[in-house]
Amino acid sequence: MTTQPITTLLFDFDGTLLDTNELIIQTFLNVLGKAYPLRYTRDDVLPFIGPSLKQTFDAIDETLTEELIEEYRVWNVDMHDQLVVEYDGVVETLRLLKERGIKMAIVSTKTKNVILKGLKFMQIEDIFEVVIGLDDVVNPKPHPEPILLALKRLNATQEEALMIGDNSHDIEGGQNAFVRTAGVAWTVKGEAYLATFKPTYMLQHISELLEIVEGQSL
């Protein structure tokens, strides 16, 4: 693994920078509750957090995928600002990283309009030079395509980059793109689960990124 200093940070969004977990859970329960009454519980939908909607709904019933995606997006956007919560220290840390000249991008499996809605909610639309959403790529994470596209648009190399996320596909996507990775201990699936994918770092708090970009070992 490279020891080159980290100058570029690639962030997942949902569950990493903004706590959208309750929004996602409630959206799935609402949409699937109509299609499959009493079939899905909170525990049942937790694995759906992370993969793209197409991946999730294809696994349930490919014939209903497009219909369920449309219902999901409508309900999700309507309830967005009521159900999302900011994580401690995220906005402050991102602004400090920006001041230090760190290149930053969002690499998400959500569509770009939903990501931008979240950035607006947090009032950090000015932070990220690049935003890669589901509609920018053919293959979502864990395929390396979105990560490599973000690096290309940032004019950054794999050796200087770190992919940060709360889910397995963030870590595996980073590994598939040959960049260093950081899991976040506040993942809804639990730190122990995320640790099984062997990220380079495990963040207990977002501010630890300040130490990482300074080259200090955690």
Helix axes 112-122, 65-83, angle to 10 degrees: 0
Phi first, then psi, for residue 50 (nearest 5°) are 125, -65
Catalytic residue among 12, 14, 166, 170: 12
**Would you say 126 and 99 are in contact if contact means Cβ atoms under 8 Å apart?**
no
Give 18's strand partners: 14, 86
CA dist 108 and 116 (Å) reads 11
CA dist 1 and 52 (Å) reads 29
The DSSP result for 113-147, as a single string, is HHHHHHHHHHT-TTT-SEEE-GGG-SS-TTSSHHH
**Would you say 187 and 193 are in contact if contact means Cβ atoms under 8 Å apart?**
yes
Count of CB atoms situated within 10 Å of the CB of 116: 16
SS3 79: helix
At 65, list the tokens. 């995928």
170 is catalytic: no
Active site residues: 12
